[in-house]
Amino acid sequence: MSKKGKVVVKALVTGGAASGGPPIGPAVGPTGINIKDVVDVVNEKTMIFKGLTVPVRIECDPETKQFEIFVETPSTASLLLKELGVEKGSSNSLEDKVGDLTLEQIQNVTRAKRDIFLDITYKTSIKTVLGTALSIGATVEGEDPKAIQKKLDNGEYDDIFKEEE
């Protein structure tokens, strides 16, 4: 794709369910690129995040009518909510809990986000995800995520997380 005249469209789409309407259609339409082709590729690439809001970047070349789709990872909160099977977090996360996560679910979300975390170690990445679990109103293994963070600091889960370091 040529750099000159390239159009970059950034959008939030529902995984596997993008359409030719806003935000994609009105942004891609003026480039002359077939919107249906773009939507089909976006849906194919975001299907793994079905039902989640996913950031995508579409780079269009109006000259050659070619495009590239770049899918970014959904937010940590979105991934945790999907693990819980709920649509939204608690509006009063300190008192009202929306569900309980397992350590394995916390690890799954951490692995999904690992590339974009600036944290140096896997353990600090886990603690970041635990912080988000707290903010959406989730417990982990029946406990407050802060308690799990303290146990991590005390080395109680070192055997579980050692292989990831």
Nearest CA to 130 out of 113, 106, 153 is that of 106
Q: Does one domain contain both 112 and 148? A: yes
State whether 81 and 157 are in the same domain.
Answer: yes
For residue 2, being part of any structural domain is answered with no
In this predicted model, what pLDDT tens digit does every residue of 37-86 receive, in sequence order? 999 999 999 988 888 888 999 999 999 999 999 998 888 998 999 999 99
* Secondary structure of residue 99 in the 3-state scheme: strand
For residue 37, what are the domain limits?
Answer: 7-71
Find out whether 61 and 9 touch, Cβ atoms under 8 Å: no
Query: Based on the structure, what is the number of domains in the chain?
Result: 2
Higher-pLDDT residue of 161 and 11 is 11
Residues 90 and 155 in one domain: yes
| Res. 163: pLDDT tops 80 | no
Q: Which residues pair with 76 in a beta bridge?
A: none
The per-residue pLDDT of the chain, averaged, comes to 89
Greatest Cα pair distance in the chain: 59
